[in-house]
Copies of this chain bind each other. A is one copy, B any other.
Amino acid sequence: MAKHQPRPFQPQDHNHGRCVQDALAAAQALCADQGLRLTPLRRRVLELIWESHKPQGAYDLLERLDGEETPGAKAPPTIYRTLEWLQAQGFVHRIESLNAFIGCPVPDHGGAEPHASQFFICEACGTAAELHDDGVAAAIHRQAKSLGFSVADQTVEIKGRCPSCREAAR
């Protein structure tokens, strides 16, 4: 079966159900494969994150989680722990400059190690796109090498205007 190809900055009217479906299916498959437990809570939080392509704050997610599902009001540790686990599996990423979280369209990208991503974030509509450009990563590694610095983790977050918002602004 042909895989749905996630593309950055899709039109607003794209079939978003497809994005969600694919993300959940990928997570489910990966967990089954590796004996990880995608519990109802974890699944639900992943679903909430995927309700849009905009990074979501932990407390926003918590609020949406609360009042639904199981009875009690959820407390912050619930959401932070769940996000931590989702990040560890590579299902979501944290956007440092926004204190927010977004779903990863390619959780299985580079095997077990976290992949080097670049995030392009529209300041107008809030949408973020994850890219994996070898050129950027290579330029960074080149610099690191010349410094004698060994890279463990890259944070690359670019703010600006997405194509739709640029168009809308004209």
Contacts and interface: CB of A to CB of B under 8 A. Distances in A.
B96 A157 contact: yes
A2 interface: no
Contacts of A135: 139, 142-143
Contact of A160 (B120, B144, B156, B158): B144
**Identical copies of this chain, number:** 2
A54 to B, nearest CB: 15
B155 A129 contact: no
Nearest to A151: B160
B118 A148 contact: no
B136 A163 contact: no
Nearest to A9: B147
Interface string A105-141: 0000000000000101011000001010101101110
